[in-house]
Amino acid sequence: MKKIAEIRAEFETASMEEQRRLREVYREDDRSGVRKLIEKSRKAEEALRAEKLRMEHMMEYERKYEHLGYLCGIDEVGRGPLAGPVVACAVILPKDHEILYLNDSKKLSAKKREELYEVIQKEAVSIGVGMASPARIDEINILQATYEAMRQAVSKLSVCPQLLLNDAVTIPQIEIPQVPIIKGDAKSASIAAASIVAKVTRDRLMVEYDKAMPGYGFASNKGYGSSEHIEALKKYGPSPIHRASFITHFV
């Protein structure tokens, strides 16, 4: 009879299909450790089935418009922070992609975002990233700067999409047809992918800014107005990446 540690190793290295076979092999083993492994495997399969179903719902808009050709999801991050740029991303996913766990980036852990970022970079047909600097935000306001970053992201795509799926907005000065979707980053796989890439791109940038300008906690607060960030702003004054139009209440 195999040791439980050996059976555990079998389950850990097995695919879901292989785990089904293992559950059958050890069905008669009444040791509690084996029963737990079988139950854990069964729950993992149920969770995977549920996730695949969720992702089918996340492909609703993509399925609706796929006859048009390339569909591009667009989202932005960084409209609310006191410091740093606003970052927009445009992502075209393959029609037949099998990426799981795509969601509004705010609903994912930092680790999961990083993992999905790498998957999206590998699987996407094309990705474009655009940014508007703090100075540009002060010059033309955050909304116009966001639109500018979005147009820049679309312009950097290696293929021209036939339709844009946007998170809630209609971008001015773009000739490509657009479909604004309220809470689109939680309803469209393409928009969710753009949300994740934009978030990881901006977060990484803020970590680098933290190295160059320590004291404000950019690595942890990402430029948002945490109490520590506001205290540092009052103590040290604004940094070169603070948005002057956003910090009038604090300095």
Asked whether residue 64 is assigned to any structural domain, the reply reads: no
Please tell me whether residues 45 and 165 are part of one structural domain: no
Please tell me whether residues 132 and 28 are part of one structural domain: no
Distance between CA atoms of residues 66 and 7, nearest Å:
45
Q: What is the pLDDT of residue 43?
A: 96
Q: What is the pLDDT of residue 217?
A: 97
Asked whether residue 178 is assigned to any structural domain, the reply reads: yes
How many beta carbons lie within 10 A of that of residue 12, not counting itself? Answer: 10
3-state secondary structure of 49: helix
Please tell me whether residues 141 and 43 are part of one structural domain: no
Q: What is the pLDDT of residue 1?
A: 83
Please tell me whether residues 119 and 233 are part of one structural domain: yes
Asked whether residue 122 is assigned to any structural domain, the reply reads: yes
Please tell me whether residues 99 and 205 are part of one structural domain: yes
Q: Which of 75, 102, 118 is nearest to 204 (CA)?
A: 118
Please tell me whether residues 120 and 43 are part of one structural domain: no
- Expressed as residue numbers, the domain containing 240 is 69-245
Asked whether residue 63 is assigned to any structural domain, the reply reads: no
Distance between CA atoms of residues 184 and 11, nearest Å:
37
Asked whether residue 81 is assigned to any structural domain, the reply reads: yes
- pLDDT per residue as tens, the chain (251 positions): 889 999 999 999 999 999 999 999 999 999 999 999 999 999 999 999 999 999 999 999 999 999 999 999 999 999 999 999 999 999 999 999 999 999 999 999 999 999 999 999 999 999 999 999 999 999 999 999 999 999 999 999 999 999 999 999 999 999 999 999 999 999 999 999 999 999 999 999 999 999 999 999 999 999 999 999 999 999 999 999 999 999 998 87
Asked whether residue 251 is assigned to any structural domain, the reply reads: no
Asked whether residue 183 is assigned to any structural domain, the reply reads: yes
Q: Which of 176, 199, 207 is nearest to 109 (CA)?
A: 199
Structural domain tally of the chain? 2
Q: Which of 204, 46, 51, 194 is nearest to 116 (CA)?
A: 194
How many beta carbons lie within 10 A of that of residue 159, not counting itself? Answer: 11
CATH of the domain at 161: 3.30.420.10
Please tell me whether residues 85 and 22 are part of one structural domain: no
Please tell me whether residues 78 and 23 are part of one structural domain: no
Q: What is the pLDDT of residue 249?
A: 86
The DSSP result for 220-241, as a single string, is HHTTS--HHHHHHHHHH---TT
Q: What is the pLDDT of residue 56?
A: 96
Please tell me whether residues 38 and 158 are part of one structural domain: no
Kindly report each contact of residues 215-221 with a partner whose C-beta sits within 8 Å and lies 24 or more positions away, as own/partner.
Answer: 216/83, 218/83, 218/84
Please tell me whether residues 111 and 16 are part of one structural domain: no
Q: What is the pLDDT of residue 251?
A: 79
Asked whether residue 228 is assigned to any structural domain, the reply reads: yes
Q: What is the pLDDT of residue 186?
A: 95
Q: What is the pLDDT of residue 250?
A: 84
Question: E-assigned strands of 10-124?
Answer: 71-77, 86-92
CA atoms within 13 A on the CB side of 66: 14
Please tell me whether residues 118 and 38 are part of one structural domain: no
What is the pTM assigned to this prediction?
0.92
Q: What is the pLDDT of residue 201?
A: 98
* Residue where a domain terminates, one of 15, 37, 58: 58
Please tell me whether residues 35 and 115 are part of one structural domain: no
191-226 per-residue burial string, b: 16 or more CB within 10 A, e: under 16: bbbbbbbbbbbbbebbeebbeeeeebbbeebbbbbe
